[in-house]
């Protein structure tokens, strides 16, 4: 079967490749971004393919959901038509309210910072290969002005943070990732806490909240936003709603679970905030 060959014996190949791997592992700890040129070259080939396949994936998942929903939609349609009539009435009223609100805001000089951030849209093109992490690739990179540590929002809430930037793509760590830590606070009471992703809780659609002061006056359903003392996240971005508040065994702090507002399973397009938190270090 096998041809007589005078090639290199397998053990030398193994030794050489192991050596190469170990050198690369050491290099990636020692020098940040030493493989950037290679990464760019590879992404040049891989990105177009992943983009296309991802679209196909979304198409399929939509079709599947369409089919599941089809039956209930007819009934829903009937009741919705009735609702529309009611809502048109309400809408007229709320437009008036809106105008009034805007006037009041101007009066009180409430500047809504959250709306004022300059953002850039990006599409998610692929997800981490392993089942251990929740990181994903977006199709914008340093060419589009993306920088490391920029905040990523979408679906009306915080999605994550850019942790690696290459020429035409970047990697985003979502807040449900096991390595993610976000300094946050309760919107009403400004009690500080830490929001931490967890692989264990990911399937239940929740993440963990730590280090809440024992005396904090908080209730289930309270809103959690990014805190103003965070070093990487801009203040006031909505993360989610708290539930299952429990006292820690140390009797000094409380912890809880948090339901993110972002639906990570169906996330397609995200916004990257181009402004970065000014920590006054420079």
Partner 1 sequence: MIGGNMLRKIIIALGIFICFVLQTTLFKFLALGNIAPNLLLMLTFFVGFIRGKKEGVYVGFFSGLLIDICYGRVIGFNALLLMYIGFLNGAFNKMYYDDEVTLPMGLVCISDFIYNFVFYVFQFLLRARLSFGYYLIHIIIPEMVYTVIITFVFYKLFLKINSTIEKYEKGSAPSFD
Q: Quick one: 25 or 73, whose CB is closer to partner 1?
A: 25
Minimum distance of partner 1 from residue 211's CB (angstroms): 17
Provide DSSP, 142-188: GGGT--TT-EEEETTEEEEEEEEE-SS-EEEEETTSTT-EEEEEETT
Given candidates 6, 79, 130, 231, which one binds partner 1 under the rule CB under 8 A? Answer: 130
Distance in Å, CB of 140 to partner 1, minimum: 16
* Other beta carbons less than 10 A from residue 242's beta carbon: 24
- Smallest separation (angstroms) from partner 1 to the CB of 139: 13
Q: How far, in Å, CA of 24 to CA of 67, rounded? A: 48
129 binds partner 1 (CB under 8 A): yes
Q: How far is CA 205 from CA 154, 191, 222, in A?
A: 17, 23, 17
Asked if residue 201 binds partner 1 (CB under 8 A), the reply is no
Task: Give the closest residue to 199 by CA, choosing from 171, 179, 172.
Answer: 179
Q: Candidates 49, 73, 252, 269: give the one binding partner 1 (CB under 8 A).
A: 49
Q: Is 236 exposed, middle or buried (0-12, 13-18, 19+ CB in 10 A)?
A: middle
- The span from the CA of 140 to the CA of 124, in Å, is 9
128 part of the interface to partner 1, by CB under 8 A:
yes
Stretch that binds partner 1, among 24-32, 85-93, 219-227, 272-280 (CB under 8 A): 24-32
Taking the C-alpha atoms of residue 192 and residue 202, their distance in angstroms, rounded to an integer, is 23
Of 60 and 104, CB closest to partner 1: 60
Q: Which position among 76, 100, 102, 179 is part of the footprint of partner 1 (CB under 8 A)? A: 179
Question: Which window, 121-129, 146-154, 222-230, 250-258, contacts partner 1 (CB under 8 A)?
Answer: 121-129
Partnered with residue 240 across adjacent β-strands are 224, 260
* Count, residues near partner 1 per rule CB under 8 A: 49
Q: Which residues here bind partner 1, judged by CB under 8 A?
A: 3, 7, 10, 13-14, 17-18, 20-25, 27-29, 35, 38-39, 42-43, 45-46, 49-50, 53-54, 56-58, 60-61, 125-132, 135, 137, 171, 178-179, 199-200, 202-203
């Amino acid at each position: 079967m096998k041809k007589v060959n005078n090639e290199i014996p397998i053990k030398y190949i193994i030794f050489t490749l192991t050596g190469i791997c170990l050198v690369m592992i050491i290099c990636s700890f020692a020098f940040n971004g030493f493989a950037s040129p290679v990464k760019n070259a590879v992404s040049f080939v891989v990105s177009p393919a992943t983009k296309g396949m991802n679209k196909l994936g979304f198409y399929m998942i939509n079709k599947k959901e369409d089919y599941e929903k089809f039956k209930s939609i007819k009934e829903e349609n009937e009741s919705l038509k009735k609702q529309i009539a009611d809502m048109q009435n309400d809408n007229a009223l709320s437009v008036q309210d809106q105008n009034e609100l805007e006037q009041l805001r101007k009066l009180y000089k409430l500047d809504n910072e959250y709306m004022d951030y300059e953002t850039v849209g990006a599409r998610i093109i692929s997800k981490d290969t392993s089942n251990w992490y929740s990181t994903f690739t977006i199709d914008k990179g340093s060419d589009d002005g993306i920088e490391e540590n920029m905040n990523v929002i979408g679906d009306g809430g915080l999605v994550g943070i850019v942790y690696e930037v290459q020429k035409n793509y970047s990697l985003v760590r979502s807040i449900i990732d096991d390595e993610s830590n976000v300094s946050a606070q309760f919107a009403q009471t400004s009690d500080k806490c830490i929001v931490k992703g967890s692989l264990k809780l990911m399937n239940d659609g929740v993440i963990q909240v730590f280090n809440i002061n024992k005396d904090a006056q908080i209730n289930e359903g309270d809103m959690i936003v990014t805190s103003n003392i965070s070093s990487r996240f801009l203040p006031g971005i909505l993360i989610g709603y708290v539930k299952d508040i429990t006292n820690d065994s140390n009797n000094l702090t409380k912890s809880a679970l948090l339901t993110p507002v972002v639906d990570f399973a169906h996330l397609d397009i995200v916004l990257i905030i181009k402004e970065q938190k000014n920590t006054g270090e420079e």
